[in-house]
Amino acid sequence: MNLGKTTTVKRRFTVLSREILDKYPELATEGSPTIRQRLEIANPAVVDMAADASLACINEWGRPAADITHLVYVSSSEIRLPGGDLHLATRLGLRSDVGRVMLYFLGCYGGVTGLRVAKDIAENNPGSRVLLATSETTILGFRPPSKSRPYDLVGAALFGDGAAAVVVGADPVEGKEEGFMELSYAVQEFLPGTHGVIDGRLSEEGINFRLGRDLPEKIEGNIEEFCRKLMRIGGLGDGVGFNELFWAVHPGGPAILNRLEGKLGLEEGKLDCSRKALMDYGNVSSNTIFYVMEYMREELMKKRNGGEYKESEEEWGLGLAFGPGITFEGVLLRSL
């Protein structure tokens, strides 16, 4: 089996290293109770990654960290009290009265959920600036190689570790802030009777995940109506075609992207940023949607700086992610 060809992932990053395995050799022993050791690694690692991403984001934003009024922190990779939201706020030097929201164990749709929550906070608290940070590691789900579980190799080649951060707010301060995308409307929906398709169970050995082989089929069978619903609620009529939009789709895997592309009749290139994010980082759970959007921003800036941008470029788009539930999370986006 050519795992690179199967997953299309050419590069990914992981916290797990030879040094960690040397320190915790029991991680490579099948059946060992290692949840304590995994959390010793994961809890600080996710905050370290989130802090690095957040500091880079705040630096690019250009305003002081003290101007952050709210923090939304998303992770499916740590378990502790107090949670990573407080540890992150302390590391970043945020105000002690910063409003914190911790979103735990949402899986791959967590990044878009974070956007929806940050959007609601920003719109209902005039002048607020919401730091949304996501951070994930595969340490909790790592399993040693086993001939009885060859499919584990596909998961190991597909999933990666990383973090992301964005600042969300309403009414940008002229001369100090410049928005990239407007979060126009957001919708979440679950598919009844499918909560066992993506199954994760915490045990003494860590988290054991099981992904149903019918996951791409379930997404394919329901994606068109979900997109139409999001477009209608957001004010776009049924006359707007899918190819008139830009697409920021969480790349759960190549099969999901291929089925979505075929079902919606998307033109070649519409999912290029999703495919590039998957190729360069793998599926990094809640983070990945932001890698997709960053590639979209880079492309837009190249067009504008090179004089190739046209007013006819797609103004509206959809940001989509899928995860346990099966849950669909979507946001109607407007390019600024």
Question: b/e string for 231-253 if b means 16 or more Cβ within 10 A?
Answer: beebebeeeeebeebbbbbbbbb
DSSP 175-188: TT---SEEEEEEEE
Active site residues: 108
What residue has token string 């995308």? Answer: 181
DSSP 45-72: HHHHHHHHHHHHHHHHHTS-GGG--EEE
Per-residue tokens: 252? 């759960």
User: Sign of the CA dihedral 7, 11, 15, 20?
Assistant: positive
On whether the CB atoms of residues 270 and 261 are closer than 8 A, the answer is: yes
On whether the CB atoms of residues 39 and 190 are closer than 8 A, the answer is: no
- Report how far residue 322's alpha carbon sits from residue 258's, in angstroms, rounded to the nearest whole number: 15
CA atoms within 13 A of residue 214's CA, in its CB half-sphere: 8
Beta bridge partners of residue 58, listed in sequence order: none
- Report how far residue 223's alpha carbon sits from residue 252's, in angstroms, rounded to the nearest whole number: 14
- Report how far residue 292's alpha carbon sits from residue 299's, in angstroms, rounded to the nearest whole number: 11
Tell me which residue of 209, 205, 210 sits closest to 27, measured CA to CA.
205
- Report how far residue 148's alpha carbon sits from residue 315's, in angstroms, rounded to the nearest whole number: 49
Tell me which residue of 4, 17, 81, 86 sits closest to 47, measured CA to CA.
86
Coil, helix or strand for 104? strand
